[in-house]
């Protein structure tokens, strides 16, 4: 079973060169994939395409397609896609929309009609998972950058997506926070079969967990494979 398939997918933002250029990539269900590559290689665009933000919220031109959980991203609504894919983007702060930490986690669950007792349990559970236990009533605006990043991750985890796409999720975390985050992602991957696709420039952080590494360069897949296959090549 595949969680995600890029089929010869190309995409150019309006008036720009191709950000992705003929990407073919299969992400197996239950796998942990790390995406690396130099700045401008197309890593963020790959994340945007994996959750449907590209093409839904951007103009530009595309060729080929992306399927997520069997759904063609261009032909499916963001609502349909978000039932399967949770996303934490690079500008995670713009994903935070409410006043308090608890409200932030509850937001997506309320939208989905999750029952109140379950929401309360999930809030406690995911805040503990990301190291924000007991911070329910804090105002989001009073959190540090790293705490906001962990809150954005907690809010997405609360919906228990089958597929999780994260763009540099440890960018605002200290080394210990980064280690804790990756240990959590590895646990969710192992215990609950969550498919994880994560952009991480520091591959050393994910080598112990990733079973697939994709290196992008100039919008193309430069190499892909198991860590022991890919590392000697980069």
Q: Which residues bind ligand ADP (CB under 6 A)?
A: 13, 16, 19, 37, 39-45, 118, 121, 125, 157, 160, 188, 192, 194
Please say which residue, 19 or 123, places its beta carbon nearer to ligand ADP: 19
Give the nearest distance from C-beta 188 to ligand ADP in angstroms: 5
Could you tell me which residues come within 8 angstroms of residue 82 by beta carbon, excluding any fewer than 6 positions away? 51, 52, 159, 161
Reference 148, options 75, 97, 189, 196; nearest CA is 97
Please say which residue, 12 or 144, places its beta carbon nearer to ligand ADP: 12
Please say which residue, 143 or 194, places its beta carbon nearer to ligand ADP: 194
Give the start-end residues of each E strand in the chain: 2-12, 18-28, 32-36, 61-68, 71-72, 85-88, 163-167, 195-199, 212-217, 220-225
Give the nearest distance from C-beta 109 to ligand ADP in angstroms: 11
- Residues 123 and 107: beta-carbon distance below 8 Å: no
Give the nearest distance from C-beta 141 to ligand ADP in angstroms: 27
Give the nearest distance from C-beta 139 to ligand ADP in angstroms: 25
Please say which residue, 184 or 228, places its beta carbon nearer to ligand ADP: 184
Give the nearest distance from C-beta 195 to ligand ADP in angstroms: 11
Please say which residue, 29 or 160, places its beta carbon nearer to ligand ADP: 160
Q: In this structure, how many other beta carbons lie within 10 angstroms of the beta carbon of residue 133?
A: 12
Reference 86, options 141, 58, 39, 126; nearest CA is 126
């Amino acid at each position: 079973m595949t969680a995600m398939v890029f089929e010869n997918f190309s995409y150019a933002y309006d008036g720009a060169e191709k950000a992705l250029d003929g990407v073919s990539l299969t992400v197996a269900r239950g796998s942990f994939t790390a995406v690396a590559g130099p700045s401008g290689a197309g890593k963020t665009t790959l994340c945007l395409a994996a959750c449907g933000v590209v093409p839904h919220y951007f103009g530009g031109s595309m060729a080929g397609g992306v399927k997520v959980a069997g759904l063609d991203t261009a032909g499916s609504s963001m609502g349909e896609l978000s039932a399967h894919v949770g996303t934490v983007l690079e500008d995670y702060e713009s994903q935070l929309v409410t006043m308090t930490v608890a409200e932030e986690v509850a937001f997506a669950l309320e939208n989905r009609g999750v029952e109140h007792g379950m929401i309360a349990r999930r809030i406690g559970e995911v805040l503990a998972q990301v190291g924000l236990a007991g911070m329910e009533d804090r105002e989001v605006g009073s959190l540090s950058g790293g705490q906001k990043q962990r809150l954005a991750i907690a809010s997405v985890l609360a919906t228990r997506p089958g597929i999780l796409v994260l763009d540099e999720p440890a960018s605002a975390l200290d080394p210990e926070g980064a280690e804790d985050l990756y240990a959590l992602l590895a646990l969710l991957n192992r215990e609950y079969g969550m498919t994880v696709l994560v952009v991480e420039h520091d591959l050393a952080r994910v080598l112990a967990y990733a079973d697939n590494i994709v290196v992008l360069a100039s919008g193309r897949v430069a190499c892909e494979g198991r860590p022991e296959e890919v590392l000697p090549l980069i």
